[in-house]
Amino acid sequence: MAASCISSTQQYFVPTAGQERIDSGGLRSRGDALLAAECPRLRGDKESDNGAADFTITVDREGYVTRARLDRSSGDERIDQLFGGLTAALQFDPPASTPGVSLESAVTLAYACSPTVAAITFQIKQPGGDSVYVAPPPTDAPQNPAS
């Protein structure tokens, strides 16, 4: 008789007490600055590097993210930590008319590194709404290879 066991670990990020909250503009500027320090390591011997991670965020009635769950890793633990911390620090306009105490929403963060570019991009569905916040890559950012 054969037995198998599958285990799964979910990784959550929560805001640091007293941490300044950021909006989508702050996410881009803070993310670009933090990524700039990581790009040389990520590129290594390559001309460029890029990756993405997906999160599910929980947002309270005041619009503050209370936790971010990593759903798909970027493949780099330090980038996942950086993106998780940024995502957990997000703040939105309070949801207008959604009942309940909290909402969930999807967030994708991506990065692009080259000798001249260190940029994050993101797509965030407005919690409790239909809007999507999108920050496209700079025009000179390396693109993901076609699949």
pLDDT tens for each residue of 41-66:
999 999 999 999 999 999 998 889 99
In this structure, are residues 39 and 141 in contact, taking their beta carbons and an 8 Å threshold? no
* Mean pLDDT, residues 72-88 taken together: 97
Q: What is the pTM of this model?
A: 0.83
* pLDDT above 90 as % of the chain: 63
Phi, psi of 57 (to 5 degrees): -105, 150
Nearest to 88 by CA among 72, 107, 110, 61: 107
Report pLDDT for 146.
Answer: 38
* Mean pLDDT, residues 103-121 taken together: 93
Q: In whole angstroms, give the CA distance from residue 98 to residue 129.
A: 9
Report pLDDT for 93.
Answer: 84
